[in-house]
Structure 1
């Protein structure tokens, strides 16, 4: 187990088992399709290992240069001096040649490169569903055809019970074109952070439901009448995201394409017209109306920073707010800056339950990678896939990507406890802040590549003990909502759906905020639904349900 580091604290978070048995292995084998069938790909074996296996060090049998698309964060531009690339080359005989794109418009630039056939061989930082626009053109490879070359991927899909989730990645042709980062355990990254000392002060317990939260906020408001005790800080998108599941719907960041699977009816409905969505909107409207929810926190444009919200927390204007593990430390820093002698207790709590139960978001994948179509013609194609299987799914590679070089930047004892070397820091998580060399900024470790696949132990290694407690609470007391069945659209349908979905979502976003803030009376809910219907909502649902039915028939 990997736990407990020296000088552990965090900076703000940035911009997510039992074996499944023979059936999942059969599925994976079936999806490997042509990779071993016609032998064409297996001719491209330069540099590959003939006996590559799970949990084995990959090392190309001859030096290889592989191109990769690299996203530069605004405060973390790639450096030629980064040790991560030297360490990868030392271990694998592979030199990565990055093509850089800025984070600000990474998705657009990536799409342009792929569509023009100019993308590097390796395309990382791809989330589930982002492969869909490139399927019909053949611009990226169907990765399901090549998972027989990926023993680490297959092993951890089985061990972490992810087979059904992998099945849901398939596009209309029954194949999937990206392989995701795998998470041994999955809990909501964003939830609610409370000043537990203040809740205790007014006699309110840690809320398990949204109704209990309201009762607590009323007590806090009575004690601190100048406050608006609850806030979001992310334009409402965070709070609506983690609240929606408890009301039996989706919202905020998790709204997606707006559809929600109705198990009883056996079809997709539109979430934002449902009784559950209306109940959620009414709940938050009531909080605003009674001065319990800060309306500014629902409208202030957020760039990922919570400085304004931290100031309100520090000034005792807010006592509960949305955030991730790093936000806890941001609030703590602000409170200490305001009063170095202040005593307080900040706790990230499990998302409250509601009328739909103690339900949270479905178990999730994290970002993975695609391969450009041109990669298939490379003489070292097999070695490339083996290398990526090691890089993305091998425990040794994952530990290196997060912590650097064992014996130099960190040590690990017999119990698996990692301790960072005193000369090094990891400022992104405020670990060992007195270290002279930062693992991330100076050496290139703990970048986006480190996030993709994580065991529970690795996730715990850089998170605070309080976040570990949060994970334990969510896993023990909350139920992940079942994922919706696949409904992959073909190329023509994707275009049609986009033209319909965008104005529908704009109407939803605008009116959700108006209803909550009281700028539109809730008595006009039916009129709002009629407006959505007038934007051809039924035509949109017909597209999605038709795709779902077709997928079932074909697969």
Structure 2
């Protein structure tokens, strides 16, 4: 199992919006008006085009290799008949460069792996309506059969990538792996501490969790004879917040839908209960006093010194410094219930990462571009993008059962595979348009795994542990806090300033309430302040957007 790096960047700039205001025709064609060379595009198999075709592609670079030198892309060009010219600014500059491309109208044919941090939902709405991006929904059934199949199996995909004008302007990465439901890296218990205290069953309620944190603080679970244990720690609660809020039935500190009713969680009674509970932990020294001032490195240093009982990370070993085998003794946090939330719940990932493949008005053949990307929405195509054709990272060998399995190619092993992979494919550190992880049956990620030897298991013990913990402690409880929606330009304009103000005020107030700088007796004053920040209009807009998403066909 390999980690993906989170891609962040800039949103739409005022310059781009101003330069495009009023330019470009409205795109009502669903893509048909731009079908320049589409009649010559094969609807299945390779090559995609008989006569070689060239396109330009703009994408963020992770700096590991020049895209023109990546062997997966070179091989795919031969396979498809489509060659690409690459414009790949550094990932840190990509958002600015993309906005300038729109502002200057110097657009590539394809925008790849931008993500919503760069090709924001607002960008899609604006540039799509202006005709800068090609609408794809009418082309998908014929020229993207793999994606179309996934969309039929999961109607939420089409709902989540369709803008308010009824068009699809960009394609997503679809996650279907064993940990795809993770909203963020989980909370973990220090397994050695549990063992030392004789704890055999994890807490299942807020009160039981509090009691265990008290034991962590007072019973010397790290066995060093010092009162240096920190029961619970994080950095500004930026990661553990979502899990701890879920104890009280909340999945976000923003809008959440309760059934079909949208509400703003930071002014709910459940949120007050969350603050009250967290303040109690802080006052009693159960929540790290440095939570709102320390860096992630400082938190990890405490973990490596065996001072943390409960903490958040992608894997526990990233905080503790332990080996994978040792980390298998650190259980994942069990979702909790409370007096205001009798049913355990945790935030779930929608498993759709938007804004990762868009075709611009300059593209000579949108159909060919769609066929080019659609292969990666199949399990075999996704594996090809991740690890290339046979001979680069892997080769076939026959195991004792007579089955052909993928094993590391000569000179490749678990120690150098990722470094090698970073140089042969763009599917490294970026959110790329593809089917990520397993197929719908949960089999593909194992079938296409690369093994150290023919008879080795395609999945190691640590990965089995992670998958088992996820299946028991996240999958049964995961609920998406709010669906992926688009706002119209008018809606966006009406809430953009409010959203920023609310986020800042709520985050600052959370820290003040928990640390006691602001007493919880000021709750009513806090709520009135938020009500005075146009929150009713904010919720109304998101209720309208939710209703539109819910009714979309």
TM-score with structure 1 setting the length: 0.78
1:190 has 2:185 as partner: yes
1:138 has 2:140 as partner: no
Label 1:496 to 1:40 Cα distance change in 2 as closer, same or farther (>3 A): closer
Q: Is the 8 A contact 1:348 1:470 kept in 2?
A: no
The Cα shift of 1:150 comes to: 0.7
The Cα shift of 1:552 comes to: 6.8
Give the equivalent residue in structure 2 for 1:525.
523
Label 1:399 to 1:502 Cα distance change in 2 as closer, same or farther (>3 A): same
Q: Is the 8 A contact 2:249 2:344 kept in 1?
A: no
Q: 1:469 aligns with which of 465, 472, 476?
A: 465
The Cα shift of 1:71 comes to: 1.2
Q: 1:176 aligns with which of 141, 149, 168?
A: 168
Label 1:12 to 1:393 Cα distance change in 2 as closer, same or farther (>3 A): closer
Label 1:331 to 1:419 Cα distance change in 2 as closer, same or farther (>3 A): farther
Give the equivalent residue in structure 1 for 2:25.
none
Q: Distance in 2 between matches of 1:277 and 1:178?
A: 36
1:118 has 2:106 as partner: yes
Aligned positions of 1:51-450 closer than 5 A:
51-52=43-44, 56-57=45-46, 59-73=48-62, 76=64, 78=66, 80-127=68-115, 130-136=120-126, 137-148=130-141, 149-158=143-152, 161-185=153-177, 186-188=180-182, 189-204=184-199, 205-224=201-220, 225-233=227-235, 235-251=236-252, 255=253, 258-263=254-259, 266-301=260-295, 306-324=296-314, 327-331=315-319, 334-335=321-322, 345-347=328-330, 349=332, 352-355=335-338, 356=341, 357-362=343-348, 363-367=350-354, 369-375=356-362, 378-390=363-375, 392-412=376-396, 418-421=406-409, 423-425=411-413, 432-433=414-415, 438-444=419-425, 446-447=427-428, 448=430
**Matched residue SS, 1:145:** coil
The Cα shift of 1:215 comes to: 2.6
- What RMSD in Å do the two structures reach over aligned CA positions? 3.5
**Matched residue SS, 2:380:** helix
Q: Distance in 1 between matches of 2:207 and 2:51?
A: 63
List per-residue Cα deviations over 1:137-156 (Å, max 9, x = no partner): 33322332321221010123
User: Which runs of 5 or more residues in structure 2 are unaligned?
Assistant: 9-27, 221-226, 451-458
The Cα shift of 1:227 comes to: 1.6
Q: Is the 8 A contact 1:11 1:330 kept in 2?
A: no
1:454 has 2:433 as partner: no
Q: 529-538 or 224-233, which moves further after superposition?
A: 224-233
User: Which runs of 5 or more residues in structure 1 are unaligned?
Assistant: 1-8, 17-32, 337-341, 426-431
The Cα shift of 1:190 comes to: 0.9
Q: Distance in 2 between matches of 1:471 and 1:353?
A: 20
Q: Distance in 2 between matches of 1:48 and 1:12?
A: 33
List per-residue Cα deviations over 1:459-495 (Å, max 9, x = no partner): 5648854344333443345233256467643212212
Q: Distance in 2 between matches of 1:415 and 1:209?
A: 48
Q: Is the 8 A contact 2:65 2:423 kept in 1?
A: no
Q: Distance in 1 between matches of 2:40 and 2:333?
A: 48
The Cα shift of 1:221 comes to: 1.5
The Cα shift of 1:510 comes to: 0.7
List per-residue Cα deviations over 1:377-419 (Å, max 9, x = no partner): x3322111111111x3132221122223324421355667543
Q: Distance in 2 between matches of 1:182 and 1:454?
A: 6
Label 1:70 to 1:169 Cα distance change in 2 as closer, same or farther (>3 A): closer
Q: Distance in 2 between matches of 1:365 and 1:510?
A: 30
Give the equivalent residue in structure 2 for 1:25.
none
TM-score with structure 2 setting the length: 0.78
The Cα shift of 1:47 comes to: 5.4
The Cα shift of 1:526 comes to: 1.5
List per-residue Cα deviations over 1:137-188 (Å, max 9, x = no partner): 3332233232122101012334xx4213422333222333222112224321
Q: 407-416 or 502-511, which moves further after superposition?
A: 407-416
Aligned positions of 1:455-534 closer than 5 A:
455-456=437-438, 457=443, 459=445, 461=449, 465-477=461-473, 478-481=476-479, 484=482, 488-534=486-532
List per-residue Cα deviations over 1:297-351 (Å, max 9, x = no partner): 44335xxxx5433321111111321111xx444345x347xxxxx9675535156
Number of matched pairs: 494
List per-residue Cα deviations over 1:497-527 (Å, max 9, x = no partner): 1011111111011111222222222221211
**Matched residue SS, 1:411:** strand
Give the equivalent residue in structure 1 for 2:14.
none
The Cα shift of 1:239 comes to: 0.8
Label 1:343 to 1:85 Cα distance change in 2 as closer, same or farther (>3 A): closer
The Cα shift of 1:67 comes to: 1.9
Label 1:323 to 1:120 Cα distance change in 2 as closer, same or farther (>3 A): same
Q: Is the 8 A contact 1:12 1:330 kept in 2?
A: no
Q: Is the 8 A contact 1:58 1:387 kept in 2?
A: no
**Matched residue SS, 1:312:** helix
Q: Distance in 1 between matches of 2:207 and 2:96?
A: 42
